[in-house]
Chains A and B, each alone.
Chain A
Amino acid sequence: MRALLVLPLVLALAACDGAPTASFADAAIVLPDDPNELPAGPYRAVVEANCTACHSPSTMLQQPRVSREKWESIVGKMRKLYKAPVDDEAARQVVDYMVAIQSDVSRETPQ
């Protein structure tokens, strides 16, 4: 852990009543993996292949139930705006999957 401080800064801070010393050490963390898995549904493998690079399953599973049209619009936005490399057929299948798992009323949230 290195404290990187230049002398003029130390002097400046001494004049600043009570302010913490600015010291910049390197920082690193390890982020946890997503323990969730996508629930079974039509085209689950397509969703896994096309969506999970950016979205951990928790993202998709916590959305409110919305219409097929809304899912089409969301998948369209991922392709057009966020440049997700998803072809037409896969896009339709992703929508089918989201509509199917959202219509499963027994599902509350990923366990």
Chain B
Amino acid sequence: MSSTLTRRALIAGAGTAALAAPALAKLGGMIDLGLPGGPSLRPTTPDFPGKRDMIVQRIRPPLLEAPMEAFAKGTITPNDRMFVRWNWPFPTEVKAAEHRVAVGGAVKKAVSLTLDDIAAAGETVEIVAVNQCAGNGRGLSEPRVTGTQWGNGAMGCAKWTGVRLKDVLAKAGIAEGATRVRFAGLDVPLTDGAPQFIKSIPMDVAMRGDVLVAWAMNDEPLPILHGFPLRIVVPGWFSTYWVKMLSTIEVLTGEDESHYVAETYRWPTVPVTPESKDFPTVPITAMPPRSFITSHADGETVAKGKPLTLEGMAFGGDAALAKVELVGEGWSAECELGPDEHGPFAFRRWSVTLPEVSGDLAAIGTKATNINGLTQPDALVWNPSGYARNVIERITLVAR
């Protein structure tokens, strides 16, 4: 037994039989996320509207995580399995006809747009892109860090439909000296003076042809939990920038000094330890590549002397996936990529067949590399907020 397996079995207070379920052990309505040192069990209740069998990380405001089984097949995450993350409370009712998006700041003429104005601002565009929380996998950090204790399910891949942000900006006209575009939604803090969740992106990103003001997710209107009626979509960037319930677009002329850009959602530019102080940081922006084995869970038994096929899912982050390798202790094998169904920012399947299982497969994992050569590291690049986890995720399979 690997130490991981031992620890999980102890945490779960159950034998190995309970670990045989795909990807996660489900124990009496609880799911074990395998978070080192615990608490590791999470409920799958209460139910949330439009959601099915989600891991409930927080009830108010909701934080819902998809169990890994949601990624076991296909390349599109259904709306009822997409993770949910809110920083502040948000309205649970939105009147479409009354909603406005204010476009202001460094613009030629500030405008207030209806939903129909937005939809008519330009060509309707569809893009399939991974939506992933910057803190996805934070709960697996060692040493542990505080914050939302996600397993790896704060991600999903969906088709987003909307208009280009640049077409919406054109309704107001961008003024001289514009540097960034900042977004705010209808979610607001409960306490006076607390920072609103506002986020900005540099002008060159804002003007990209694939950065959207989106109203549909997998061909359905955005559910309220995902930001009805409109959200920003920045393919390849973490979803902290994908502001939900969009109500304000503000063009800036300088740096963004607001809390959620200047003070949080940042990570170190140098290697750090829990003892490090006063290190330089930059905003967490583009996603690195990641990959997961979805056909087998840690601790599962496989047949000795027989061939073994492993399957999973990968994505390239802010650039297309180039390859996925299965890696063990001192060996690797190239995986076969499934078809490129949805373009560079989407999930893609992979599979690999080992001709014969000769013994336990200890600490095997997959390493994705994107077309820019960015790859997954062998060891966790620890940071105090647990952002941008993309270490090779390893499991052990027992041959019998």
Q: Which of A27-59 contact B (CB under 8 A)?
A: 27-36, 53-56, 58-59
Of B41, B47, B229, the contact of A27 (CB 8 Å cutoff): B229
Does B339 sit at the interface, judged by CB under 8 A? Answer: no
Map CB proximity to A onto B15-49 as digits: 1 under 8 Å, 0 otherwise.
00000000000000010000101111111011111
> A28 contacts B93, CB within 8 Å?
yes
Taking the closest CB of chain A, its distance from the CB of B341, in whole angstroms, is: 15
> A12 contacts B120, CB within 8 Å?
yes
Main secondary structure of the interface of B (DSSP, over half): loop
Residues of A within 8 A of B270 (CB): none
Residues of B within 8 A of A62 (CB): 39, 42, 57-58, 149
Of A24, A29, A74, the contact of B229 (CB 8 Å cutoff): A24
Known: A54-B190, A108-B38. A20 touches B30 (CB 8 A): no
Of B41, B48, B62, B228, the contact of A108 (CB 8 Å cutoff): B41
Known: A22-B216, A56-B58, A66-B144. A4 touches B97 (CB 8 A): yes
Interface size range on B against A = 35 or more
Known: A2-B97, A6-B116, A28-B93. A34 touches B216 (CB 8 A): no
**B29 nearest CB neighbor, chain A only:** A111
Known: A27-B228, A28-B93, A29-B224. A56 touches B60 (CB 8 A): yes
Residues of A within 8 A of B189 (CB): 82-83
Q: How far is the CA of A4 from the CA of B99 in the complex (A)?
A: 12
Residues of B within 8 A of A2 (CB): 96-97
Q: How far is the CA of A22 from the CA of B219 in the complex (A)?
A: 10
Residues of A within 8 A of B146 (CB): 63-64, 66, 70, 74
Taking the closest CB of chain A, its distance from the CB of B181, in whole angstroms, is: 22
Does B126 sit at the interface, judged by CB under 8 A? Answer: yes
Q: How far is the CA of A62 from the CA of B40 in the complex (A)?
A: 8
Known: A32-B48, A108-B41. A24 touches B195 (CB 8 A): no
> B35 contacts A64, CB within 8 Å?
yes
Q: How far is the CA of A65 from the CA of B39 in the complex (A)?
A: 8
Known: A27-B93, A109-B39. A8 touches B46 (CB 8 A): no
Known: A31-B60, A58-B59. A83 touches B192 (CB 8 A): yes
Taking the closest CB of chain B, its distance from the CB of A70, in whole angstroms, is: 7
Does B123 sit at the interface, judged by CB under 8 A? Answer: yes
Residues of B within 8 A of A16 (CB): 123-124
> A59 contacts B58, CB within 8 Å?
yes
Known: A33-B59, A54-B190. A24 touches B96 (CB 8 A): yes
Q: How far is the CA of A26 from the CA of B92 in the complex (A)?
A: 11
Does B194 sit at the interface, judged by CB under 8 A? Answer: yes
Known: A29-B50, A31-B92, A58-B57. A9 touches B39 (CB 8 A): no
- What are 12 A-B residue pairs whose CB atoms fall within 8 Å in the complex? A5-B116, A20-B161, A25-B96, A27-B96, A29-B50, A55-B60, A56-B60, A64-B145, A81-B195, A81-B259, A109-B38, A110-B43
| Chain B interface residues (CB < 8 Å from chain A) | 11, 13, 30, 35, 37-43, 45-50, 56-60, 62, 92-97, 99, 115-116, 119-120, 123-126, 139, 144-146, 149, 161, 189-195, 215-216, 219, 221, 223-225, 228-229, 259
